[in-house]
């Protein structure tokens, strides 16, 4: 499962770099380096999943279960981090909607003054 998590994290890091949505590239490259180190160390596992055809091949059921568990781990982290970002008032993320002053007035609320 760790091999799948590392591979997905490394691939998602590449997606973030090419999309240019992350302003903190230094931190992203550090995370990608750590995930890349994990990917390189898991190369024998990837070979056992994909290329081997002898008795050392990892069974398909094991690969499917590990992929499903890795997906559940990512889903739990996504929900947890999204909820903590909204509770802590972080508005720079893509999950928090910025409320305009006109939106507040339309529902009868007054905006806070600074």
> pLDDT tens for residues 29-54?
888 899 999 999 999 999 998 888 88
Distance CA 79, CA 74 (A): 9
Q: CA 13, CA 35: separation in Å to the nearest integer?
A: 9
Top pLDDT among 97 and 12 is at: 12
**Residue corresponding to tokens 């490259």:** 29
What's the pLDDT score for residue 43? Answer: 93
Residue with tokens 């390189």: 40
Q: Which of 37, 33, 52, 38 is nearest to 4 (CA)?
A: 38
More confident residue, 74 or 110: 74
């Amino acid at each position: 499962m760790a091999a799948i998590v590392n591979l997905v994290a490394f691939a998602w890091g590449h997606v973030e770099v090419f999309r240019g949505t992350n302003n903190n590239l230094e931190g992203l490259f550090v995370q990608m380096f750590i995930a890349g180190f994990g990917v390189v160390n898991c190369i024998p596992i990837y070979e056992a999943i994909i290329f081997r055809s002898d008795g050392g091949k990892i069974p398909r059921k094991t690969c499917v279960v590990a992929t499903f568990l890795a997906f559940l781990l990512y889903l739990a982290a996504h929900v947890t981090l999204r909820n903590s970002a909204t509770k802590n008032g972080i508005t720079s993320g893509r999950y928090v909607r910025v409320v305009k002053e006109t939106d507040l007035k339309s529902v009868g609320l007054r905006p806070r003054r600074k």
